[in-house]
Amino acid sequence: VHWEKQQGKSKFVQKEITSETATDSRYLLLVLNKAERAWAYAMDLRAADKQGREVHHMMRKLRKAAIYGKQFEALCAETADDRTALEAEAYASWLTGSEHLEREEWEPALERLSRCRTVYDELSKVSEGEEQRVFER
């Protein structure tokens, strides 16, 4: 986050998080938090009465969550270990599949959610104890 002075007014200039700037694992958490926040807000809107603009707003939040999920997946693929990259791929697939499901785009939803399930099944095979139980759910 960076504030830039411009003729006496403060103007927010968001810095992009790339693999070059993500020197610490906390940078990955920033992108993950954005995805989680957008998804949670969309689910909150979905629980409310579905009316025109609220449905549109929910879809936009789901789309943002999917975009942040893909960004998280790309960052993990470049900077994290293989296991974390696989978990990020499954998470991004789940977010994208959820978005397609809400839009009633059945084929892409099935494809993405199936990929998510496949990755979680493979992760459960190589995990032990508590992690294995989490991936099996």
H or E element at residue 56 = helix 52-79
56 is in which domain, residue-wise?
A: 29-136
Taking only the tens place, the pLDDT of each residue in 10-65 is 777 777 777 777 777 788 899 999 999 999 999 999 888 778 888 899 999 999 99
5: in domain? no
Is 17 within a domain? no
How is residue 8 written in tokens? 């006496």
In a domain, 11, yes or no: no
| Alpha carbon distance 29, 120 (integer Å) | 20
Does residue 43 sit within a domain?
A: yes
Q: How far apart are the C-alpha atoms of 6 and 54, rounded to whole Å?
A: 35
Specify which residues 2 forms β-bridges with. 13
Q: What is the CATH number of the domain that holds 114?
A: 1.10.3450.40
CA distance 104 to 7: 48
Q: How many CB atoms lie within 10 A of CB 117?
A: 14
Number of domains in the chain: 1
Residue 61 lies in a domain: yes
How does pLDDT run across 71-94, given as a tens digit for each residue?
999 999 998 888 899 999 999 999
